Structure 1
Amino acid sequence: MPNYQRILAAIDLSDEAGGVLERAAAMAKHHDAELHLLHVVEPLSLAYGGDIPMDFSEVQLQLQKQAEDALGNFAKKLNLPKTQCHLLSGRPDGQIHELAKTLATDLIIVGSHGRKGLALLLGSTANGVLHGADCDVLAVRVGQQS
């Protein structure tokens, strides 16, 4: 097993993020690796195809602030400095790849819902990260198991 030096845990700030963070913290401790947290806020214009007839800039700012607060709370639980917490905006898989390269990450940890059928065909962030990463990717199963 490789000895990881720098681990990037990409989380979605849902209730399930705790499980991903537990696994990331355990991996970082086991490998004596530096752990970084990342959350990507997807712009509403991306989520809704860019044709929004209303100004959602205030809503976007609120989403950004909520994400910043939540990410800070997760960092406190893990005793991580602010320099190891990253809040970006854009398409999650692309931003995860970009930060992983910038940080010279050798392991990315993401949550995966293990979708099947149509949801699998439509893709997911975990799938996008896996297929574009230059380093190892650990997909931690989250949500209900069936």
Structure 2
Amino acid sequence: MMNVYNTVLVPIDVFSDYTQILSRALQVAPDTDNIHLLYVAFPQTNVEPYGLFLERDYSQDVKEQAMKKLSEIAAGNNIPTGNVNVEIGSPADEIHYVAEKLNADLIVIGTHGQSGLRLLLGSTANAVLHGVKRDVLAVKI
């Protein structure tokens, strides 16, 4: 008999194809209330020459867009909106942090993903595996 996972963390890239990852999480979680969605955005700044304020932080814009998209995904899958998380930082570090914070039993992650700059292709899942204290289900996409 397989153990029931009470808290399943599902980090997804809302701007890429996440359907297989979410589908697998829905299969292993006992209920949609047990699923927590996470999107991690990279910090982004833009330096403007001659600008009075030399840096504009785009992180808040990205965070708001991702939260809107993640909330839509949650609503479409009967996942409580309180189970939606958006963080800014290094994907593996933030996944570890949120997993600890939620005391997640399982992390369901894609084995490769890509952002607009094709950053960390495949290495995020690998980095999550190292130093994690919970089960990880890697979904081949």
Is this contact kept in 2: 1:4–1:33, CA < 8 A? no
1:24-39 map, 5 Å: 24-29=25-30, 34-39=34-39
CA positional deviation for 1:20: 0.8
Structure 2 Cα separation of the partners of residues 25 and 141 of structure 1: 16
Is this contact kept in 1: 2:33–2:80, CA < 8 A? no
Change (3 A) 1:84 1:32: closer
Is this contact kept in 2: 1:6–1:35, CA < 8 A? yes
CA RMSD of aligned residues (A): 2.5
Partner of 1:126: 125
| Letter of the 1:35 counterpart | I
Q: How many residues align?
A: 129
Structure 2 Cα separation of the partners of residues 122 and 39 of structure 1: 16
TM-score using structure 2 length: 0.79
The 3-state SS of whatever aligns with 1:87 is strand
- Percentage identity across aligned positions? 37
CA positional deviation for 1:112: 1.2
Partner of 1:22: 23
TM-score using structure 1 length: 0.77
Structure 2 residue ranges without an equivalent (≥5): 49-54
Structure 1 Cα separation of the partners of residues 138 and 77 of structure 2: 20
Partner of 2:42: 42
Partner of 2:51: none
Structure 2 Cα separation of the partners of residues 83 and 62 of structure 1: 20
Structure with greater helix share of residues = 1
CA positional deviation for 1:25: 1.0
Q: Structure 1 runs of 4+ off > 6 angstroms? A: none
| Letter of the 2:38 counterpart | L
| Letter of the 1:17 counterpart | Y
Structure 2 Cα separation of the partners of residues 95 and 122 of structure 1: 17
The 3-state SS of whatever aligns with 1:56 is strand
The 3-state SS of whatever aligns with 2:20 is helix
Structure 1 residue ranges without an equivalent (≥5): 46-51
Structure 1 Cα separation of the partners of residues 97 and 14 of structure 2: 20
Is this contact kept in 2: 1:11–1:110, CA < 8 A? yes
**1:44-93 Cα shifts (integer Å, max 9, x gaps):** 25xxxxxx633232x33321221111101111111111211111111111
CA positional deviation for 1:135: 0.3
Partner of 1:48: none
Change (3 A) 1:32 1:88: closer
Structure 2 Cα separation of the partners of residues 80 and 32 of structure 1: 5
CA positional deviation for 1:132: 2.0
